[in-house]
Amino acid sequence: MNLQTFFLQPFPSTESFPNLKITGNISRNANQLTICYNLGGDLKKIAIAPPSNAPSRKHELWEDTCLEFFLSIKDSQRYWEFNLSPARHWNVYRFDRYRQGMQEETAFEKLLFSVQNQADGFALALDVDLDKIILANQAIEVAITTVIKHRDGEVTYWALTHRGAEADFHLRDSFIVEL
């Protein structure tokens, strides 16, 4: 097992950010991927949907607060985008190459993950079996990201690294976690 911790940074902007801290860890054991996000700080300024009693696959989750990660097989142009909403809605998209050939990944019929409210934030944890999309012996590269929607409508973009002139989670230079 290869456990790595992370700390996300906001995309540089002239706007002020609420007192937020986005941390977590990611690991891979055989072909089981586990990712845990912790969002802490002044969450009163953040638009966070309450957990749904009927979580489902939904499109355009990135238009609201959404925890995400991008996964690729090392040395391949194909990659997947996983979107996880605090409301427990989700989606997975497959791309043939940089922002090309986007399709809903039908190998996943559901993603089960937990969302736990805490005194000063919330935690989201996902365990996903990657056997449906990659082989256990294939090395993967991951970009860990988050979209934060503020109650005033402003959106900020958080990632391990920002390699472009604009916030762009799809840039392969940002897939810096190797598992």
What DSSP string describes 20-88? EEEEEEEEEETTEEEEEEEEEE-GGGB--PPPPSS--B-S-GGGSSEEEEEEEETT-S-EEEEEE-TTS
Q: Which of 4-8, 13-17, 34-38 has the lowest mean pLDDT?
A: 13-17
Residue 157, CA distances (Å) to 13, 138, 151 in order: 10, 29, 15
pLDDT in tens, 123-148: 999 999 999 999 999 999 999 999 99
Return the pLDDT at 5. Answer: 97
Cα distance between residue 1 and residue 39, in whole Å: 24
Return the pLDDT at 112. Answer: 87
Return the pLDDT at 23. Answer: 98
Instruction: Kindly state the average pLDDT of the residues 165-169.
Output: 94
Instruction: Kindly state the average pLDDT of the residues 147-172.
Output: 94
What domains, with CATH codes, occur in the chain? 4-178 (2.60.40.1190)
Cα distance between residue 139 and residue 22, in whole Å: 26
